[in-house]
Amino acid sequence: MHTKLQVMKFGGTSVGDAACIRRSAQIVANASREYSVVVVVSAMSGVTNRLIDAAHQAKRGDREAGKTLGDALRKQHFEALAALVPDEHARLRVECRIEELLAEGTRLYEGTALLRELTLRTLDAISSLGERLCAPVFAAALSAMGVAGVAIEATELIVTDSFHGGADPQAEPTRQRSQQRIGPLLQHGQIPVVTGFIGATSDGLLTTLGRGGSDYSATILGAALDAAEIIIWTDVEGVLTADPRLVAEARTIPEISYREAAELAYFGARVLHPKTLRPVMPAGIPVWIRNSFAPDKPGTKITQQGRSIGGGVKALTAIRDVALISIGGPGIVGVPDVVGRTFSTTAQLRAEVLLISQSSSQNDICFIVAKAHSQTTLDALRREFAQDLAHQVVDHITMDPNIAIVAVVGENMRGTPGVAGRTFHCLGNEGVNIIAIAQGSSETNISFVVSDQSVKAALLATHREFDLGVSRQFGTMQGTFTVPGGFDKTSPEILDAFEGKSDLEKS
């Protein structure tokens, strides 16, 4: 057993087929010469989506969907296994386990089709199967390479509340169970391969941590096991300065702070599940984002401090598929509860509000929600304010779906005067019209709303203004160093990561 522990998470595309699993297992085998390693795996890419789709078909009474998918999953996992594990006995053991899991799946699908009912609890049980199928295959691939992999289900380790579909972990019991179960394995030089995405309530009911949750699993376990570092192996080379489809000069950021990374995750650069960094913040455990397809590249390191750069701006991100709702009129000045009623309406609908802006004259409140929620939000507000509209206290409630949010993110913007000035000046020069602006008091981002057609121009102008694309100097304790070169701009994986669909559509 080595003194330092690395927790390594491999996302769906990094375990997408036998060749990917072999590449990832090789990364683990190499690291295990220097570190104790705990592996966390996602489902093979696409599997979770297929499991969930079939569950909805079963709910509509389709009795075949589950069976058809079960057959496809058997084939997919057996094929990977055959390519990775030459030893027949070892293979047979995993095949038996796969059959057990598929049988469990069949029962769940049959029950769903029979009752035509799909509870969140059942959906969790169904959607967990991808990770549970993948872990034994990955563990066997490691063993075939001469490093002893042991598949472990995270239901034994991660204790959560009972909020199915997005459960929250409980740190203390998780710590106890993880150390008890994982400690002895590490002592024997074994490599636990843990299912990402899932946990269990204290009385043993399986839960999931929410879509894309295996990043979160990795940091939960990293914190519980006092890991030295956590590496999220994915299919992009880390966190980029901007969406490379829109900004050709975008490049990988070498180091970024927890807050900046969380801010970017929230604002649509979906490299990480938004909750991922929470568990590691108190202990300050660094998290790396690296590319399992290019393991020689350094990736992005996420730390407490980040690394300060000149102007304080680290990255830009844009959220599209959103709509701006505004509510206002001169009459609302006198109505003290307009803000309260507006946001209790969105809260009732569980519509996440991405940005809020209110002018001090209170003539107008505007906010942004995902397009998926925009029409229901608009309708609900018109109902809520029906009386006020009738009496012209509120004179309009409108929606503009052709907008986007652009966020300029960087922790060191705080206390750096002029970032906002430079941002809006350069946008002015490009003729980009700004519809609304918000800057939180945390000052880690300035977000503004522009028309959807001007997103690209806005990103290009700000990227250039803050020199994000050129090789530049980063201050360090010892002196300075220069950021290494960019990345392969044509890589489809990198592009995918910025489509906002990345993880989920590939999962």
Q: Give contact residues for ligand ASP (rule: CB under 6 A).
A: 11-12, 42-43, 48, 130, 196-197, 211-214, 503-504, 507
Could you say which of Mg ion, ligand ASP, none residue 306 binds, taking C-beta under 5 to 8 angstroms by partner kind?
none
Of 399 and 504, nearer to ligand ASP (C-beta) is 504
Of 213 and 306, nearer to Mg ion (C-beta) is 213
Contact region for Mg ion (CB under 5 A) — 188-196, 199-207, 208-216, 373-381?
A: 208-216
Residue 6: count of CB within 10 angstroms of its CB: 21
Could you say which of Mg ion, ligand ASP, none residue 213 binds, taking C-beta under 5 to 8 angstroms by partner kind?
ligand ASP
- What's the closest the beta carbon of residue 47 comes to Mg ion, in angstroms? 12
DSSP class of residue 402 equals E
* Residue 212 binds to Mg ion (criterion: CB under 5 A): yes
DSSP class of residue 425 equals H
* Residue 235 binds to Mg ion (criterion: CB under 5 A): no
Of 196 and 306, nearer to Mg ion (C-beta) is 196
Separation between Cα atoms, residue 188 and residue 255, nearest integer Å: 34
Residue type at 462 in one-letter notation: T
Six-digit token string for 382: 């018109």
The 3 state secondary structure assigned to 346-366 is HHHHCCCEEEEEECCCCCEEE
- What's the closest the beta carbon of residue 47 comes to ligand ASP, in angstroms? 7
* Residue 213 binds to Mg ion (criterion: CB under 5 A): no
Could you say which of Mg ion, ligand ASP, none residue 241 binds, taking C-beta under 5 to 8 angstroms by partner kind?
none
C-alpha 80: how far from chain center = 26
Of 9 and 175, nearer to ligand ASP (C-beta) is 9
Of 138 and 197, nearer to ligand ASP (C-beta) is 197
Could you say which of ligand ASP, Mg ion, none residue 123 binds, taking C-beta under 5 to 8 angstroms by partner kind?
none
Separation between Cα atoms, residue 196 and residue 270, nearest integer Å: 17
Of 185 and 504, nearer to Mg ion (C-beta) is 504
Residue 168: count of CB within 10 angstroms of its CB: 16
- What's the closest the beta carbon of residue 271 comes to Mg ion, in angstroms? 9
Could you say which of ligand ASP, Mg ion, none residue 149 binds, taking C-beta under 5 to 8 angstroms by partner kind?
none
* Residue 500 binds to Mg ion (criterion: CB under 5 A): no
C-alpha 257: how far from chain center = 16
Residue 204: count of CB within 10 angstroms of its CB: 9
Separation between Cα atoms, residue 160 and residue 173, nearest integer Å: 9
Separation between Cα atoms, residue 318 and residue 354, nearest integer Å: 12
Helix (H) or strand (E) holding 107: helix 88-115
| Most distant CA pair in the chain, distance | 79
- What's the closest the beta carbon of residue 44 comes to ligand ASP, in angstroms? 9
- What's the closest the beta carbon of residue 216 comes to ligand ASP, in angstroms? 8
* Residue 11 binds to Mg ion (criterion: CB under 5 A): yes
- What's the closest the beta carbon of residue 233 comes to Mg ion, in angstroms? 10
Half-sphere exposure of 360 (CA within 13 A, CB side): 0
The count of chain residues that interact with Mg ion, using the rule CB under 5 A, is 3
Burial (Cβ within 10 Å: 0-12, 13-18, ≥19) of residue 197: buried
Of 10 and 109, nearer to ligand ASP (C-beta) is 10
- What's the closest the beta carbon of residue 273 comes to ligand ASP, in angstroms? 7
- What's the closest the beta carbon of residue 234 comes to ligand ASP, in angstroms? 10
Of 107 and 501, nearer to Mg ion (C-beta) is 501
C-alpha 401: how far from chain center = 25
* Residue 229 binds to Mg ion (criterion: CB under 5 A): no
* Residue 503 binds to Mg ion (criterion: CB under 5 A): yes
Residue 53: count of CB within 10 angstroms of its CB: 12
Of 91 and 506, nearer to ligand ASP (C-beta) is 506
Could you say which of Mg ion, ligand ASP, none residue 411 binds, taking C-beta under 5 to 8 angstroms by partner kind?
none
End-to-end alpha carbon distance in the chain: 33
Q: Are strands 198-200 and 206-208 parallel, antiparallel or unpaired?
A: antiparallel
Of 21 and 460, nearer to Mg ion (C-beta) is 21
Separation between Cα atoms, residue 148 and residue 153, nearest integer Å: 16
Sketch the per residue contact string, 20 through 59, with Mg ion: x for CB under 5 A, - otherwise.
----------------------------------------
DSSP class of residue 169 equals B
User: Rule CB under 5 A: which residues touch Mg ion?
Assistant: 11, 212, 503
